Structure 1
Amino acid sequence: MNERSAISPGYKTRGHYTLRRARDARDWLSGEPDGPVTILLLGIKDLKQINEHSGRGVGDIAIRRVGERLRAFAAQQLSPISFMARMPGREFMLVIKGNDAGRQVELAAQKLIEMVSADLGDSASPLHVSARVAIALSKPGESRQQLAARATQALAHAYERKGQRFVIADSGDVSDAPDRSQLDAAMRSALAQRQIAIMLQPQFAVATGALVGAEALARLNHPVLGEISAGDLFASADRCDLREELSYHIQQEAIAIAAGWPAAFRHLRLAVNLGAEELTAEYGSKLLRLLEVAGFAADRLTLELTEESLVRDLQLAAGQLEMLRQKGVRIAVDDFGTGYSSLAYLKALPLDYLKIDKDMTPDITGDGKDRIILRAIIAMAKALELLIIAEGVQEQEELEMLKAEGCDFFQGYLRAPPLTPAKFEALARDLV
């Protein structure tokens, strides 16, 4: 197939858009620009987890039905979509004529994510995917391959950022960020040699200011790449099929640190993150064994279920979490307000805490809709008898407003940044 036939007016036939193959996409990318365009690059963030937990047959169904949603999306758009193709792996590319649609393209990306994120299964077997979209607008003199490279880099950023479901590509050249292979090698080596450091973000009671515990965070200080954040570590682990190993390592290290706290700290809690895709039928018993070996009481541990990933089997997850709660472990929904699964979590899962995302906390001091929405979230949590933790508190005014709204706990640079275990102990000794 030549390029002309791939993007000819016949591309839309009988009211339907054709989803081209990866080979056709390569042909298109190798062609010469014929005017300004915008690329939407859509990726299924959790396809690997679907394949692992539900089988590749289910993953293939997800891919096929995402393609069906893309065709439906294309038929609804006012801007002409000149080319649409399935890319290798977990991604799809849409090409829109023109690059001056502005806010319309962002709204289209949001609509695309909504359509793809809706239930792809049937009444007997629900099927959800977590989608991300990159938007890249062509520049004068830029080749199609250069444009696609910027879109690919933007999609990588979207995969790695909590709560950010679409990203607009930088208008500059592809950055000189560390090569993925270099980062992946660093992550693999650090995981094998247990060199990933644990930082502790102190948590305080809103009403009294008392220290109540800490959230465990991961960092890697690399001699060449510098400080590598938890987000980058987990993005690398996803590429290397090592997410569960990395998560377990962080939980193991953090629990061992907390188990070594002096007796005067016995009232302090430890919170560790848990990706939804890790909630297998064996997770609960594995965690309880870890707690027993470390000698850390289950009733001092909080699992923070991250909202960036989607619980696939709510019944299985609810059973695992309830079993852990019976042993004393508390359960929180992390980053509330950034994902589309929040309300489903509140309805179906046994929870103790709701954690407000750090990007929402500054809205508490604002006017209009932002503050109304945040106040409504707090009121809903109270009605459900959930305790509330606010992240990212940086100003005294924010803390005062959270106190007025009935928030229970907070963390943020107003009181303390993430600390090394030794510095956390020093802080705790001063406050106990």
Structure 2
Amino acid sequence: MPRVALASAGDAEDIRTALDRLGVTIAADGDARIVDVRHVASPPPPGDTPLIVIAGADDGAALDRLIVAGASQHLAAPFDDISLARALRMAGVPVALPDTPTSTIADALATGHQGYLLRVALSHFDVVNAAFGREAGDALLSAAQQRIADLVPGKALVERLPGPEFAVLIEHTPDDCARNIIEALEHPYLTDGRPLRIGCLVGIAATQVGDTALALIRRAGLALAWARSGEEQVRWLPESDPLALALVDGTLEHDLPRAIKAGEIEVLFQPQVSVADGVMTGVEALARWRHPKHGEIGASLLFSTAARRGLTAALSRHVQKLALGEVSRWPAALGHLRVAINVSAREFGLAGFVTDLIAMIEQSGVAAERITIELTESELATDLTTASRMLAELRARACRVAIDDFGTGYSSLAYLKALPVDYLKIDKALAQDIAGSSRDRVVVRGVIELARSLGIAVIAEGVETGEQLALLAAEGCQYYQGFLYAPPLNSEALIALVG
């Protein structure tokens, strides 16, 4: 019988009671074992034992460690028996769903179902939570799931995944189904009496003989990560693609330590420009992997690979050193540019992070006054008190701080007020929505107005057209970056651009 390890938060007895109700045995040689999520110092058991994390709102740091260690699923505490049963079934434990006749993806695969799984992720969904509250966000998720269920074929299965994601199992025509889902989900939702539009991305994976639900959803998740790193809303994970195979079989993550030592990780610099006068004021340092077999691999796929190998912090520090080293060699013509370097959640959580980062900046010879530290929303939302203290220390040492990819993470109004932040970076998808209908501009306008009221400058990412720039300017956005001005450039191209 399949085994599963459960990492719990709070009273493990509640989980044991729920497992008893589901008929799952707790024993040395049984189906499940429970560990305390707050005191996990080592990876999960060896072999193929799946790990389910049951964590509350205050257990973010431990949850992150376990995800890196290999956790496959997350249940938010408190949870009900049905949610626990579904998580166990996804992990391969044959548990009956209590009081529900609904078939699941795990059931279908167990009976030999062949077809395709679509993993659907809503874009900048958490802005809804920030603007209208979690109750409105939950209602929107329910509405989105119903829209998907209404349009897919009768034999298709639709399941909620953790976060604003859904899994859709169908028998054929996945491309047509994906397009229909995108169109359906992009229709306006009525939220707090106001129409609101959100987008989505879709990752597609074909079933394989002997698939488990977990394996299939993971492969579709890789396709989804690929979609996030590119320009396409729908992305396949074709089994014949060499890079796809390297993602699935772990070859890519195996290559990463060698790539770091071999100098295959490079840094490019994307200009940041003043909206008012079109003058370049800074750059963001972005990582690229020049893989000898697979060619250029972007930052999103690079760092998701590092996370699976447990190398996120090491890679982040390596990229920072590369960027600072290049900046230290720039000519005087580039001496006025600010340089934004990204910091990962893993690195931000390390003891002595601020001291080590400041020491690295000082050793590079680059003035701290030129450095902006960029962190994503999820890296700041777990412990506001600690995050605020650390960011204040960075600013006291003359660095500036930016929240990156705003609109894709937790988007809490509380932390925007609580944290010492200089810049708010609007996510690419959110910035590009401004060129849609007047309704699309409501959220973007609200974010810019919020930042302005708090004395925070706004940088829009991914600006590609003059129309987008004009609309952002009209709303009061101060800076932008994107292909409209220039793509990410190496140092030589950046020097040539400045002239």
Matches within 5 A, 1:33-432: 50-51=61-62, 66=76, 69=79, 71=81, 73=83, 84-86=89-91, 95=105, 133=165, 135-139=167-171, 145-146=210-211, 148=213, 149-158=215-224, 177-180=244-247, 181-279=250-348, 280-307=350-377, 309=379, 311-428=381-498, 430=499
State how far apart, in whole Å, the 1-side matches of 2:51 and 2:170 are: 17
8 Å Cα contact 1:134-1:169 kept in structure 2: no
**Is the Cα–Cα contact under 8 Å of residues 200 and 217 in structure 1 kept in the other structure?**
yes
Deviations 1:179-228 (A, max 9, x none): 23321132211112333110110111000000111100001111211111
Give, in whole Å, the separation in 1 of the partners of 2:454 and 2:370. Answer: 22
**CA separation of 1:169 and 1:395: change in aligned 2, threshold 3 A:** closer
**CA 1:192–1:412 in 2, change beyond 3 Å: closer, same or farther?**
same
Q: AA paired with 2:270?
A: Q
SS of the residue 2:424 aligns to: strand
How many angstroms does 1:312 deviate by?
2.8
Q: Which amino acid aligns with 2:360?
A: L
Using the alignment, how far apart are the partners of 1:317 and 1:243 within structure 2?
Answer: 19
Tell me the SS of whatever aligns to 1:221: strand
> Hey, what's the Cα distance between the residues in 1 that align with 2:239 and 2:436?
36
1:319 partner SS: helix
Alpha-carbon distance in 1 for matches of 2:465, 2:91: 46
Deviations 1:52-102 (A, max 9, x none): 988x7xx99998964753636589xxxxx79734469xxxx9647789xx9
State how far apart, in whole Å, the 2-side matches of 1:171 and 1:62 are.
19
Cα deviation, residue 307, structure 1: 3.0
* Distance of aligned partners of 1:226 and 1:384 in 2 relative to their CA distance in 1, 3 Å threshold: same
- Matched length: 372
**1:4-38, Cα deviation, whole Å (9 max, x unpaired):** xxxxxxxxx99x7677999979xxxxxxxxxxxxx
Deviation, structure 1 residue 263: 2.2
In 2, distance between residues paired with 1:82 and 1:423? 50
One-letter code of the match for 2:457? L
- Determine the C-alpha separation between the residues in 2 that align with 1:154 and 1:61: 17
Matched residue SS, 1:145:
coil
Indicate the residue corresponding to 1:8 in structure 2. Answer: none
Partner Cα separation in structure 1 for residue 25 and residue 285 of structure 2: 45
Cα–Cα, structure 1 residues 138 and 273, in superposed 2: closer, same or farther, change >3 Å?
A: same
Instruction: Give the whole-Å Cα distance in 2 for the aligned partners of 1:63 and 1:147.
Output: 14
* Counterpart in the other structure of 1:6: none
Structure 1's 53 and 69: CA in aligned 2 closer, same or farther, altered over 3 A?
A: closer
Partner AA of 1:84 in structure 2: R
Contact 1:355 1:389 in 2 (8 A): yes
Measured in 1, the distance between the counterparts of 2:292 and 2:237 equals: 30
Q: State whether residues 43 and 155 of structure 1, in contact with CA within 8 Å, keep that contact through their aligned partners in structure 2.
A: no
Q: Go from structure 1 to structure 2 and tell me whether the alpha carbon gap of 1:43 and 1:138 turns closer, same or farther (over 3 Å shift).
A: farther
Shift of the 384–394 alpha-carbon distance from structure 1 to 2, 3 Å rule, reads same
The question of whether the paired residues in 2 share the 8 Å contact of 1:42 and 1:132 is answered with no
Contact 1:136 1:150 (C-alpha < 8 Å) held by counterparts = no
Which residue identity lines up with residue 418 of structure 2 in the other structure?
A
Cα separation, partners in 2 of 1:373 and 1:367, compared to 1, 3 Å:
same
Query: Is the 8 Å Cα contact of residues 344 and 379 (structure 2) preserved in structure 1?
Result: yes
1:416–1:342: structure 2 CA closer, same or farther, 3 Å change rule? farther
Shift of 1:331: 0.5
> Match of 1:145, as an amino acid?
G
Q: Output the amino acid matched with 2:265.
A: I
Equivalent residue number for residue 14 of structure 2:
none
Q: When the two structures are superposed, what TM-score results if normalisation uses the length of structure 2?
A: 0.63
Could you report, residue by residue, the CA deviation over 1:279-300 in whole angstroms, capped at 9, with x for unpaired residues?
A: 1341111111111111111111
Provide the C-alpha distance between the structure 1 equivalents of 2:495 and 2:23, rounded to a whole number of angstroms: 61
Distance in structure 2 (CA, Å) of the matches to 1:83 and 1:168: 29
- Give ranges in structure 1 of 5+ residues lacking alignment: 3-12, 26-40, 76-80, 119-129
- Alpha-carbon contact 1:216-1:271 (below 8 Å) kept: yes
> How much does 1:131 deviate?
5.0
Q: RMSD value over aligned CA atoms? A: 4.7
Q: Among all aligned residue pairs of Structure 1 and Structure 2, give the percentage whose two residues are the same amino acid.
A: 35
Letter in 1 for 2:258: S
1:393 CA displacement: 0.7
Quote the residue 2:47 is aligned against: none
SS at match of 1:179: helix
- What secondary structure, in the 3-state scheme, does the structure 2 residue paired with 1:361 have? helix
2:428 aligns to what SS in structure 1?
Answer: coil
Residues 198 and 253, structure 1, Cα contact 8 Å, conserved in 2: yes
Structure 2, unaligned runs of 5 or more: 3-17, 33-49, 94-102, 139-161, 173-205
Q: In the superposition, relative to structure 1, how do residues 178 and 371 fare at CA in structure 2: closer, same or farther (>3 Å)?
A: same
3-state secondary structure, aligned to 2:440: helix
Q: Distance in 2 between matches of 1:378 and 1:339?
A: 17
Structure-2 separation of matches of 1:62 and 1:243: 18
Q: Aligned pair in 2 of structure 1 residues 135, 315: CA closer, same or farther (>3 Å)?
A: same
Instruction: Give the residue type in structure 1 aligned to 2:413.
Output: L
SS at match of 1:380: helix
The CA deviation at 1:338 is 1.0
SS at match of 1:340: coil
Closer/same/farther in 2, CA of residues 64 and 299 from structure 1, 3 Å limit: closer
Aligned mates of 2:382, 2:393 — CA distance in 1: 18
What is the CA-CA distance between 1:423 and the residue it aligns to?
0.5
Q: What's the CA shift for 1:368? A: 3.5
The verdict on how the C-alpha distance between 1:346 and 1:20 changes in structure 2, with shifts beyond 3 A counting, is farther
Per-residue deviation, 1:145: 3.0
AA in 1 matched with 2:327: A
Compute the displacement of 1:275 (Å): 1.9
Deviation string, structure 1 residues 304-337 (Cα, Å, up to 9, x no partner): 1123545432222211110110111111111111
Once the two structures are superposed, residues 98-138 of structure 1 have per-residue CA deviations (whole angstroms, 9 ceiling, x without a partner) of: 89xx99x989xx99x989x99xxxxxxxxxxx857561404
Corresponding residue SS for 1:69: coil
* SS across alignment from 2:89: strand
